[in-house]
């Protein structure tokens, strides 16, 4: 994730009413490389937005992604799990909130130019 994109996302969290906090703290597990600074910052931004974040370092994320069914061609630098959904890469906060609000019959979201829905579930 580019630093400017991350700063924009973090700033948007602070601009939301209540600092972007959710009504109740949804638990989010973030599987990430222990040496990845941008994944640490994304996790911190999600915690600041009101998620209860459990960051888990893993040298090999392939087994986690395979267990969740993340398509290899859509994998991001980290994988987060929130409720029944998984998030690949730096999915923007607004997309995560919309996913949890609307609860579409999908497996997850992938970061990109715009968050993309993955699969049907």
Q: Give the CATH number of domain 3-118.
A: 3.40.30
Whether pTM exceeds 0.75? no
pLDDT digits (tens, 9 = 90+) for 24-45: 679 999 999 888 889 899 999 9
Comparing C-alpha atoms, which of 28, 37, 29, 35 is closest to residue 6? Answer: 37
For the chain, which residues make up each domain, given as ranges?
A: 3-118
pLDDT digits (tens, 9 = 90+) for 55-85: 999 999 999 999 998 888 888 889 999 999 9
């Amino acid at each position: 994730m580019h630093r400017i994109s991350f700063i924009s996302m973090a700033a948007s969290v602070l601009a939301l009413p209540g600092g972007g906090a959710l009504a109740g703290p949804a638990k989010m597990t973030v599987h990430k490389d222990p040496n990845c600074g941008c994944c640490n910052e994304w996790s911190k931004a999600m915690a600041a937005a009101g998620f209860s974040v459990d960051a888990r370092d893993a040298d090999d994320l392939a087994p986690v992604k395979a267990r969740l069914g993340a398509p290899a061609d859509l994998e991001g630098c980290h994988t987060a799990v929130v409720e029944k959904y998984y998030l690949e890469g730096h999915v923007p906060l607004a997309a995560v909130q919309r996913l949890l609000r609307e609860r579409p019959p999908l497996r997850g979201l992938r970061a990109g130019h715009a968050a993309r829905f993955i699969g049907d579930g």
